[in-house]
Amino acid sequence: MLKITSSSWSTQIELKRSTPSSCTLIPIMALLHFPRLLSFPSSFHSMPTRSVRCRIFSVAATPEGDTRRGANKKNDNDVALVWFKHDLRCDDHPGLVAASRHHTVVPLYIFDHRILSRLNDEMLGVVLLALEDLRKSLKDQGSNLMIRFGIAENVIGQLVNEVKASNVFVEEEVEYDLRRVINVVKDSVSSMSFTWGSPQFVIWQTPFYDIENLKELPLSNRDFRKLRLPVTAPVVSPSLTGINMELDWGTLPTFHEVKAFINGNPCKLDESWTSVKDISAKDILKRGKTNQSKMLNDPNGSLRNPYPSGNNQNNLNSWSTRRTENSVFISRNSNLIGGGTNSVLNALAAYLRYLEGTSRDDWQEVHDKLRNAESRSGASFVALFGPAICLGILSRRRIYHETIKYEKERNAGFLSPFGYSAATIATAVETVCSMEWYWILALKSQLNSEARYSIRIWRWNGHLIQYTVVGQQGPSVLLVHGFGAFLEHYRDNMHDIAHSGNRVWAITLLGFGKSEKPNLVYTELMWAELLRDFIVNVVGEPAHLIGNSIGGYFVSIVAALWPALVRSTVLINSAGSVIPGYSSIPVMEERRTSEAAWLGSQLLLLYLRWRVGDILKNCYPTNTERADDFLIEELTRAVSSLVAAILHFSSCLPILLHLSAQLHIMMVEIRQIISDLPYLTKKVTTECLVLAI
């Protein structure tokens, strides 16, 4: 069924056809068919600019046979420009399907510093392999993929003028930086004059569910699952015709050429600032207290990384470890699956068939990597396929569709009401459904224009993180919430701190609130590295860190391991043990979630749901009204998906309290910052600890 709705500023196109299956099946049967190694429970809007016309649409499905050239064609004399970013595929690409209805389609990929700076070396390797396959796929259809280096708005503006493009197709983004890039491109093109008129920007999505009103969607995943929305079917790759114009398509660069381009960016962050990310927290701790003391006793020194850059585990400058023939991994030493859509589909087939065994070398390699990446039950799927999904080499709903198809093959065409027949199947389904849920939440959070502060999205290691910023200038202050909380916990403090002459940042940590909750091992060092990267990549300067409860524990680790990033640290009712002068730090081994821990998480979850209101009011003994319905409701929603994921976490590292002559001065400065924080938590003045860095 074809449904078209129009308004004065947008057109929405939906070709509806959905699968009868759902994401709510419980993988009970999976536990009976999988080794203990992997036994685990189941657990737009428009962006209008001045004069640029804008359409927003999503294609839910298209009839399998309706891919012939000329089907439902519009604007036969028009040229459509398709800007690829994180949609490096032809399969299940609604933007390409819609663009194929135009007379000429010009696919384009731009190596833009603003986009490349978000990728580490391994991800760059995945991008290059995906582009190689994407160009081959397009050439097989008589088309091609244009490769350009430069600033996106300049490249697109020049190309629109060269090919006389009437439409520019670009995928919807939820990340703040990417949305800003898209808006800059649209504003830049809108300021240009073309003899044939202004080009139309078409913002497209790949809808996992058929959602009619995003604003009315429940915020609780439990309530959302009760809707039992069917998953839409993927669209088939469109047929494209050759391009009857002479164009410079560009050549695919090598890894070294891309790195040289990135390093030549005049706006690149100073390497002395970003180099603190080159070594993990665990490696710092392994160095011992000698190097640690040097770092802590040099508060105003250089931000240079004290360790050799060659220790960067993500460094792929040497392609001697490049993947072997027929391998689906980007290198022999990597767990990242790369290549084109067919390569990732092949790896998915191997992953799903883990229980069946195989004589194929490429599938056996997937099985071996699966076992190595299983740091906790089900974590191997994100570890292996996460980057490919993030870059859009394979769409989430294609993964869902192929997984359900395989499940039906195992069960004579049926889906059991009791769960999936293999744990790998359950993992794939639950993972892509979870990814889609948090993508929807991220998009929904940016629709509220009446909020006191705007929600932004930052992607860290492929996962969506919510944050906000209040204030335009002044020293940076980063607020970190406690266990079970989120950035809204500081909703009545951010503006007061900003009005005192500060720029205030608040973040919802991975695994908390409306930030993504991937299936991985959560540790204090992981959260500390997240905060480190947030300060480096988003805040962009040393910050005053204020942490409540477990957030205080995390910021103290950041201050101890990367003191050059921290101006001062305020701990409010902090978790963790305070041991003055303690400097010998144990390095924690990898932790796995036991079945007892999972059972304990369910019991704790029931208790928190029952007593969350009373617990909150005890935290505000003199201002019980602060534990209002909003806070209680949000915490209840948040803990529903939080506890099971991170119950195994334990605060094993002691807080380093290094007293010095600067302590009194720092306390005076911090008191000025927190003087307007009457509602942060109880006993602020008596339980506030300050680390002098």
Final residue belonging to a domain, choices 205, 223, 255: 205
Phi, psi of 553 (to 5 degrees): -65, -45
When pLDDT is cut at 50, 70 and 90, the band that residue 369 belongs to is very high
Q: In whole angstroms, what is the distance from residue 646 CA to residue 296 CA?
A: 30
Q: CA-based Rg of the chain, rounded to a whole angstrom?
A: 26
| 164 within a domain of the structure (yes/no) | yes
CATH of residue 493's domain is 3.40.50.1820
Residues 600 and 682 in one domain: yes
| 200 within a domain of the structure (yes/no) | yes
| 274 within a domain of the structure (yes/no) | no
Q: In whole angstroms, what is the distance from residue 181 CA to residue 186 CA?
A: 9
Residues 421 and 460 in one domain: no
pLDDT at 24: 39
> Which of the residue ranges 102-116, 357-371, 670-684 would you say has the lowest mean pLDDT?
670-684
Residues 414 and 366 in one domain: yes
Number of domains in the chain: 4
Task: Write the burial class of residue 554 (CB in 10 Å: 0-12 exposed, 13-18 middle, 19+ buried).
Answer: buried
Pairs from 619-628 (Cβ < 8 Å, separation ≥ 24): 619/681, 619/682, 620/679, 620/681, 620/682, 621/682, 622/682, 623/678, 623/679, 626/679
Tell me the per-residue pLDDT of 308-329, one tens digit each, with 9 for 90 and over. Answer: 333 444 444 444 345 566 789 9
Tokens 């949000």: give the residue: 634
> Which of the residue ranges 146-155, 196-205, 562-571, 597-606 would you say has the lowest mean pLDDT?
597-606
Please tell me which residue, 86 or 641, carries the higher pLDDT value.
86
User: Mean of the pLDDT values across residues 321-347?
Assistant: 84
Please tell me which residue, 12 or 576, carries the higher pLDDT value.
576
pLDDT at 326: 77
Final residue belonging to a domain, choices 405, 437, 469: 437
Tell me the per-residue pLDDT of 480-539, one tens digit each, with 9 for 90 and over. Answer: 998 878 898 898 899 999 999 999 999 999 988 899 999 888 888 999 999 999 999 999
Measured CA to CA in angstroms, residue 441 lies from 396, 454, 470, 561, 573 at distances of 16, 14, 21, 33, 30
Angle at 523 between CA 519 and CA 524, to 5 degrees: 145
Task: Write the burial class of residue 306 (CB in 10 Å: 0-12 exposed, 13-18 middle, 19+ buried).
Answer: middle
Residue type, 232: T
| 64 within a domain of the structure (yes/no) | no
| 673 within a domain of the structure (yes/no) | yes
Q: In whole angstroms, what is the distance from residue 379 CA to residue 498 CA?
A: 40
Residues 565 and 606 in one domain: no
Cα 243 to the chain's mean position, in Å? 36
Q: In whole angstroms, what is the distance from residue 472 CA to residue 225 CA?
A: 40
User: Who contacts 436 (Cβ-Cβ below 8 Å, separation ≥6)?
Assistant: 208, 209, 396, 397
469 SS3 class: strand
When pLDDT is cut at 50, 70 and 90, the band that residue 53 belongs to is low
| 532 within a domain of the structure (yes/no) | yes
Residues 85 and 135 in one domain: yes
When pLDDT is cut at 50, 70 and 90, the band that residue 626 belongs to is low
pLDDT at 84: 98
Residues 610 and 559 in one domain: no
Kindly state the tokens that stand for 653: 């590292």
Percentages of the chain per state (helix, strand, coil), in multiples of 5: 40, 15, 45
pLDDT at 198: 86
Q: In whole angstroms, what is the distance from residue 201 CA to residue 195 CA?
A: 17
Residue type, 288: G
Distance linking the first and last C-alpha atoms of the chain = 64
Q: What percent of the chain has pLDDT over 70?
A: 66
Please tell me which residue, 500 or 684, carries the higher pLDDT value.
500
Residues 367 and 427 in one domain: yes
Which residues are registered as beta bridge partners of 4?
13
Nearest to 173 by CA among 56, 4, 49, 337: 56
> Which of the residue ranges 2-6, 251-255, 472-476 would you say has the lowest mean pLDDT?
2-6
Kindly state the tokens that stand for 275: 């180099």
Residues 549 and 599 in one domain: no
Q: In whole angstroms, what is the distance from residue 379 CA to residue 43 CA?
A: 13
Residues 395 and 511 in one domain: no
Q: In whole angstroms, what is the distance from residue 230 CA to residue 486 CA?
A: 30
Nearest to 284 by CA among 580, 583, 659: 583
Which residues are registered as beta bridge partners of 656?
579
Which residues are registered as beta bridge partners of 203?
56, 170
Please tell me which of 208-222, 284-298, 599-613 the model is most confident about, judged by mean pLDDT. 208-222
Task: Print the SS3 string covering 195-234.
Answer: CCCCCEEEEEECCCECCCCHHHCCCCHHHHHHCCCCEECC
Final residue belonging to a domain, choices 410, 437, 464: 437
User: Who contacts 598 (Cβ-Cβ below 8 Å, separation ≥6)?
Assistant: 41, 644, 647
Would the pLDDT of 50 be above 70? no
Q: In whole angstroms, what is the distance from residue 190 CA to residue 31 CA?
A: 56
638 SS3 class: helix
Give the DSSP letter string of 24-88. ----TGGGGSS-GGG-----------SS-EEEEEE-----TT--STTTT---TT-EEEEEESS--
Pairing state between β 566-572 and 688-691? antiparallel
User: Mean of the pLDDT values across residues 431-454?
Assistant: 87
Residues 83 and 200 in one domain: yes
Its domain, for residue 367, covers: 341-437
Sheet holding 146-149, edge to edge: 53-58, 200-205, 167-171, 79-84, 104-111, 146-149
Average pLDDT over the chain reads 76
570: left (phi over 0), alpha (psi -120 to 50) or beta: beta
Cα 668 to the chain's mean position, in Å? 38
| 36 within a domain of the structure (yes/no) | no
Would the pLDDT of 15 be above 60? no
Largest Cα separation within the chain, whole Å, is 78
User: Mean of the pLDDT values across residues 302-310?
Assistant: 38
| 49 within a domain of the structure (yes/no) | no
pLDDT at 520: 87
Nearest to 138 by CA among 345, 340, 364: 340
If one counts every other C-beta atom within 10 angstroms of the C-beta of residue 682, the result is 16
CB distance 228 to 22 below 8 Å: yes
